[in-house]
């Protein structure tokens, strides 16, 4: 299995002969190319499945979705995304509520609860490996405990950047990620939602990095390997 973190919560996962893409995102507010700018839509392999966690502009990108082949199956949340996708011409769109499961080829996808601003989910993908995709979730002890107890995770794709605006942050940073990983209990973590926003505190900041997460995990003696130390790095598990 291969995983590539691109930007924000966008990842490319190759598993069981399928290419899965999470929260595909190429244009900020439809006109600004998103960093890293060298990874363009033309470089994206054709997905066999797209997963979308919620409707915020950095996760549901209409500019991108209008340009992808409309026969690609989508699993999404909430219903407004499903409605948007059908309006764009997508022919296979499924809205998946928390703890509901869908099968695509040899891969199963279970939506799991998330905490952000309402309506969002994460996903657990099960095939040759079991992968948790956290999307844009904040820290929630009850949710992470439930996921860790229900699934034997090989990989967690977990937000770590700690994005804040005007000093206010609800997104997971490396110290919170350590606590989350104690509950999720994956073998490997690949950070997402980091390194893609300008650092101009106190207006906006995204300080968390996988290097800091690796240091904190070692100090806490948590046996989870940190992989993917830079955007676009391909991780094999």
Helix (H) or strand (E) holding 156: strand 155-159
For 77, the token pair is 């949340």
Q: What pLDDT is recorded for position 32?
A: 60
| pLDDT tens digits along 192-215 | 999 988 888 888 899 999 999 999
Query: Greatest CA span in the chain, whole angstroms?
Result: 50
For 144, the token pair is 């992470």
Domain containing residue 138: 2-230
Shortest CA distance to 207 belongs to which of 155, 172, 158, 157?
Answer: 172
Q: What pLDDT is recorded for position 200?
A: 87
Residue 13 lies in a domain: yes
Q: What pLDDT is recorded for position 171?
A: 85
Half-sphere exposure of 143 (CA within 13 A, CB side): 20
Number of domains in the chain: 1
Average pLDDT of the residues in 160-169: 85
Residue 200 lies in a domain: yes
Residue 236 lies in a domain: no
Residue 6 lies in a domain: yes
Residue 165 lies in a domain: yes
- CATH number for position 198: 3.60.15.10
Q: Which residues contact 168 (CB under 8 A, 6 or more apart)?
A: none
Q: What pLDDT is recorded for position 65?
A: 96
Q: Length of the chain, please?
A: 237
Residue 237 lies in a domain: no
Q: How many CB atoms lie within 10 A of CB 75?
A: 24
Residue 141 lies in a domain: yes
Residue 171 lies in a domain: yes
Share of the chain above pLDDT 90, in %: 83
Shortest CA distance to 20 belongs to which of 63, 75, 78, 85?
Answer: 75
List C-alpha distances in Å: 123 to 36, 191, 195: 24, 15, 22
Higher pLDDT, 35 or 1: 1
Average pLDDT of the residues in 145-151: 98
Q: What pLDDT is recorded for position 124?
A: 98
Higher pLDDT, 184 or 170: 184
């Amino acid at each position: 299995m291969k995983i590539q973190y691109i930007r924000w919560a966008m990842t490319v996962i190759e598993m069981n002969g399928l290419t899965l893409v999470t929260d595909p995102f190429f244009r900020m507010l439809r006109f600004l190319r998103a960093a890293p700018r060298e990874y363009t839509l033309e470089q994206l392999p054709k997905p066999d499945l797209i997963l979308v966690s919620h409707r915020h502009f950095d996760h549901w990108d209409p500019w991108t979705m209008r340009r992808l082949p409309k026969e690609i199956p989508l699993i999404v949340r909430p219903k407004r995304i499903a409605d948007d996708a059908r309006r764009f011409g997508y022919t296979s769109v499924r809205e998946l509520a928390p703890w509901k499961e869908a099968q695509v080829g040899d891969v199963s996808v279970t939506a799991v609860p998330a905490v952000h601003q309402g309506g969002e989910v994460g996903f657990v993908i099960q095939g040759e490996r079991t992968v948790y995709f956290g999307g844009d979730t904040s820290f929630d002890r009850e949710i992470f405990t439930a996921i860790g107890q229900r699934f034997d995770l090989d990989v967690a794709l977990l937000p770590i950047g700690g994005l804040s605006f005007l000093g206010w942050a609800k997104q997971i940073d490396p110290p919170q990620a350590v606590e989350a990983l104690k509950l999720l209990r994956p073998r490997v973590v690949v950070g997402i939602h980091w390194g893609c926003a300008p650092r101009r505190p106190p207006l906006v900041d995204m300080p968390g990095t996988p290097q800091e997460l690796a240091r904190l995990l070692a100090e806490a003696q948590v046996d989870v390997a940190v992989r993917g130390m830079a955007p676009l790095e391909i991780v094999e598990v």
